[in-house]
Amino acid sequence: MPRRPTVIHINHNGFQHEEAFLSKADALEWERMILDTLAMPQAASLNLAAYAAGLAGSVRGYGGGYVRNAWLSGLSTHEQWAKGDPVTKGFPAAIAGAHTAAIPKGSGRREMAEWLTDARNPLTARVRVNQIWQMFFGQGIVETTEDFGTHGTPPSHPEMLDWLATEFVAHKWDQKAMYRLIVTSNTYRQASTVTPELQERDPANVLFTRGPRFRVEAEMVRDIALAASGLLSAKMGGPAVFPPQPPGMWSFPGFQDTDLYYESEGEDRHRRALYTFIRRTVRYPSLTVFDAPSPEVASVRRPRTNTPLQALTGLNDPAFFEAAQAMARRIVAEGGPGTPSRANYGFRLVMSRKPNGVELEQVASAFEKERRYFQSHQAEAEKLAGTRDIVLAAWTVVSNALLNLDETVTKE
């Protein structure tokens, strides 16, 4: 059955209207049903004729579909809502600014989309390159990425923002070209080391006097752990997946069988966090801990916090601990025969660099300490690693610590 078109109703206190859109096929189907209704023998006694006539008026004469009518509203002399002047379709003059004359009258969504990407429009390119800059530096040239208006923060480098925007348009909105331009710049390639002089002059790095250093986004924190462990799936596309999460997250009063959380198996268990199923009222816990925004509202700029709960999540969350177990197996299988070579390999898996002498000694001594402990606690080793192999259990603990280091989840 086609969707019922919505009719605008006016009452003595003002007006209210609902909107719905019908395709041409649905509109024709409604008209057929209306004609059938008028032909019913009991139409007069049931007053169906008047009702059908009202429906007919809402669909006839609109060609491609139902057109919504709208009016301005305001308070009458008795402080009641009243219908004002009609509002017709047209391009917002406030957006076009001085170029209003170039916008055809009566234009709609397509023309607005074309204007948003028009070279004469100064806003869209600036907003996008500012978002890209924020992605690489942790903060935009305009700090309030979500607000370019009068309540937003003025750009720290307005001339550079303008130049990047014009380059973006000149290269036909090529985002890869913009990525390449930024990452090959001297500004991005600076060291992130903070000297006392820079700390005093530019503590928040608003002037970009040093390279970026910030914790990666929540989804990347999980992906880094899976990649280092060798578990991360390279599969792309497809439906959402259900990775491990603490039990009871979806258990709340009134839940039904459809509310049960069934953990994915096989490759889907370790896909990128981008594919994790997000329930609006119950978010994936580890992503929330690392400042992933609520899916109930759009978010352009995420807050960035540092809390003890994040460290506890990295050490104890089922997904992270599975990654530590897999990383331990990888170290034993691929890291070589001795403790020093395995310590070096495990460090490089998470840091993407070789350890110095002090760091190598700390990793190796941590392993030896755990190995001695599990020699007298083999039951705990089996519970931890799934086997009585005390070497594997010791590397599991060390891997868990390496994955939870600040440098592991920090971009610098």
Higher pLDDT, 120 or 18: 120
Higher pLDDT, 392 or 33: 392
Together in a domain, 313 and 409: yes
pLDDT in tens, 209-233: 999 999 999 999 999 999 999 999 9
Inter-axis angle of helices 124-137 and 175-183, nearest 10: 50
- Domain-embedded: residue 409: yes
- Domain-embedded: residue 194: yes
- State how many domains the chain has: 3
pLDDT(182) > 60 = yes
- Domain-embedded: residue 93: no
Together in a domain, 175 and 306: no
Cα(8)–Cα(2) distance, integer angstroms: 19
Q: What is the pLDDT of residue 358?
A: 94
Q: What is the mean pLDDT of residues 394-405?
A: 94
Mean per-residue pLDDT of the chain: 79
pLDDT(65) > 50 = no
Q: What is the mean pLDDT of residues 68-73?
A: 63
Q: What is the pLDDT of residue 116?
A: 79
CA-CA-CA-CA dihedral for 282, 288, 289, 290, to nearest 10: 170
Q: Which residue has the tokens 């209210």?
A: 16
End-to-end CA distance of the chain: 58
Provide φ and ψ at 11, rounded to 5°.
-125, 180
Together in a domain, 397 and 290: yes
Higher pLDDT, 68 or 10: 68
pLDDT in tens, 248-264: 777 766 666 556 788 88
Q: What is the mean pLDDT of residues 310-333?
A: 92
- Domain-embedded: residue 147: yes
Percent share of the chain, pLDDT over 70: 72
- The last residue of one of the domains, among 175, 201, 227, is 201
Q: What is the pLDDT of residue 299?
A: 84
pLDDT in tens, 227-252: 999 999 999 999 999 998 887 777 76
Where is average pLDDT lowest: 4-18, 22-36, 96-110? 4-18
Name all contacts of 370-374 with Cβ < 8 Å and 24+ positions apart: 370/394, 370/397, 370/398
Q: What is the mean pLDDT of residues 1-19?
A: 39
| Per-residue buried b or exposed e for 11-34, using 16+ beta carbons within 10 Å of the residue's own CB | eeeeeeeeeeebeeebbebbbebb
Together in a domain, 194 and 240: no
Q: What is the pLDDT of residue 97?
A: 62
Q: What is the mean pLDDT of residues 155-165?
A: 94
Together in a domain, 130 and 158: yes
Higher pLDDT, 103 or 301: 301
pLDDT(398) > 60 = yes
pLDDT in tens, 352-371: 999 999 999 999 999 999 99
- Domain-embedded: residue 98: no
Q: What is the mean pLDDT of residues 341-346?
A: 94
DSSP letter at 12?
A: T
DSSP secondary structure, 16-78, as one string: E-------HHHHHHHHHHHHHHHT-GGGTTTTHHHHHHHHHHHHTT-TTS----EEEEEE-TT
Cα(16)–Cα(83) distance, integer angstroms: 9
> Where residue 34 falls among pLDDT bands split at 50, 70, 90?
low
Q: Return the number of other C-beta atoms located less than 10 Å from residue 1's C-beta.
A: 7
Together in a domain, 267 and 152: no
Sequence letter at residue 140: G
Q: Are 387 and 406 in contact (CB under 8 A)?
A: no
- Domain-embedded: residue 321: yes
- The last residue of one of the domains, among 41, 69, 87, is 87
**25: Cβ–Cβ under 8 A, 6 or more apart, which residues?**
2
pLDDT(59) > 50 = no
Together in a domain, 321 and 390: yes
pLDDT(272) > 50 = yes
Q: What is the pLDDT of residue 367?
A: 93
pLDDT(269) > 50 = yes
- Domain-embedded: residue 282: yes
Quote the tokens at residue 63.
């060609």
Together in a domain, 339 and 374: yes
DSSP letter at 268?
A: G
Q: What is the pLDDT of residue 57?
A: 46
Q: What is the pLDDT of residue 79?
A: 54
Q: What is the mean pLDDT of residues 119-147?
A: 90
Higher pLDDT, 3 or 337: 337
Together in a domain, 302 and 405: yes
pLDDT(388) > 70 = yes
Q: What is the pLDDT of residue 261?
A: 80
Together in a domain, 233 and 307: yes
Q: What is the pLDDT of residue 179?
A: 96
Q: What is the mean pLDDT of residues 18-32?
A: 51
Q: What is the pLDDT of residue 19?
A: 39
Give the Å distances, CA to CA, from 285 to 21, 50, 123, 326.
Answer: 39, 56, 36, 22
**267: domain range?**
214-412
- Domain-embedded: residue 330: yes
Together in a domain, 218 and 195: no
Q: What is the pLDDT of residue 75?
A: 54
- The last residue of one of the domains, among 176, 201, 226, is 201
Together in a domain, 46 and 79: yes
Number of H helices, E strands in the chain: 16, 6
Highest mean pLDDT of the ranges 36-40, 72-76, 407-411 = 407-411
